[in-house]
Amino acid sequence: MEYRDYFYLIVFIVGCELVGIIGALVTSDAFVSWYPSLEKPWFTPPGYVFAPVWTLLYALMGIALYIVWKKGWPQKKAKYAVSAFAIQLTLNGIWTPLFFGLRNPLLGLIDIILLWIAILVTIVLFTRISKKAGALLIPYIIWVTIATALNYSIWASIA
């Protein structure tokens, strides 16, 4: 890899990580005050797991994005794949303010279902360019599947 490649890899990883950092900063109060008071299902991960898991997932997203960019840009299929990635990352970034900021599990649920679909589309499009890039997003969709079930359970308990 050349210096320029390392630069872009770091930019993509940091860009993804910033989505999580901004969400955490905006809603940290609700995570401490509101979230613990909610009725949660038995499969709820312990609170200390969320930050390291999301940090890893955002890093994997950045690496996958870099691979697609490096391998496929400026092909049309790479532009579609990166567009799908941007949509899912936006939906990811919106979920935290909806769920925690507005304290609205229903809006969070709607968003996370759309997010799950967008991740699946991104995985399919990334895999067409690089199997490795698509595979790097598998832990992400698994975690979001768990988060979707958790979000649904919380919404159902207060609806």
pLDDT band at residue 27 under the 50/70/90 scheme: confident
Report the distance separating Cα 97 and Cα 24, nearest Å: 9
Identify the architecture of domain 3-35+53-158 in CATH: Up-down Bundle (1.20)
Average pLDDT (100-120) is 97
Is 90 exceeded by the pLDDT of residue 94?
yes
CA distance 88 to 111: 10
Cα torsion angle, 69, 72, 76, 78, sign: negative
Q: Please report the pLDDT score of residue 18 as a whole number.
A: 96
Q: Where are the domains of the chain?
A: 3-35+53-158
Instruction: Quickly count: other Cβ atoms within 10 Å of residue 39's Cβ.
Output: 10
Residue 29: count of CB within 10 angstroms of its CB: 11
Measuring CA to CA, which residue among 49, 80, 64, 57 is closest to residue 135? 64
Residues 6 or more apart whose Cβ sits within 8 Å of residue 157: 38, 39, 40
Query: Is the pTM value of this prediction over 0.85?
Result: yes
